Amino acid sequence: MKMKPEQLQQIKQLVRNVPDFPAKGIQFKDLTTVFKDADALRLVGQALAEPYRDKDVTKVVGIEARGFIGGSILATELGAGFVPLRKPGKLPAITIKKSYTKEYGVDTIEIHKDAITPDDVVLIHDDLLATGGTMLAAYELVQTMNPKKVYVNFICALKELGGLEKFPPEVEVTTLFDF
């Protein structure tokens, strides 16, 4: 279900801004204040899924940790499986990994080597797009597993950080709202 502009605005207003977290100068957009509201959580889940209902998505990849929340909802909404993309050392079986730079520091992500196959249509989800480093690394990592197609989506984006421009033009990216 597509959200009405006023519903979207209400949900955006639920996002809590936390200055100087986790480091000085960062305006942290805290989405737990959206997730704890039952109506907002349901509406966000449905709106996130809307553009992908006819895309035959078979796997939703959620980025640790906040991407697990929307990612799980998306997977059930779309009738797809869920695959976690995790911080190093957390996944128990054989993994492939990639390091990247983000708004505040350097990080590495890992995915199980057998999580995605060439038959899959993948939607990678995270809560928020900042510089785009995390999602670009996730996108490149998933692409090494040769799925049929990879889509990317977020609940929101910090537009001024220019994360969207990091992706090759052929990558379809959606967000519900921007800051």
Q: Residues with catalytic annotation?
A: 66, 103
The conformational region for residue 5 under phi > 0 = left, psi -120 to 50 = alpha, else beta, is alpha
- Judged by CB under 6 A, the number of residues near ligand AMP is 19
Asked if 77 touches ligand AMP (CB under 6 A), the answer is no
The residue from 8, 12, 28, 164 that contacts ligand AMP (CB under 6 A) is: 28
Using the 8-state DSSP alphabet, how is residue 105 labeled? E
Residues in contact with 95: Cβ distance below 8 Å, sequence separation at least 6, in sequence order: 110, 111, 112, 113
Cβ nearer to ligand AMP, comparing 58 with 91 = 91
Asked if 27 touches ligand AMP (CB under 6 A), the answer is yes
C-beta of 16: minimal distance to ligand AMP in Å? 10
Cβ nearer to ligand AMP, comparing 58 with 123 = 123
Asked if 110 touches ligand AMP (CB under 6 A), the answer is no
Q: At 109, is the secondary structure helix, strand, or coil?
A: strand
Identify whether 40 is preceded by a cis peptide bond (ω within 30 of 0): no
Residue 103 near residue 161, CB atoms below 8 Å: yes
The residues of the shown chain that bind ligand AMP, judged by CB under 6 A, are: 26-29, 63, 66, 102-103, 126-134, 158, 163
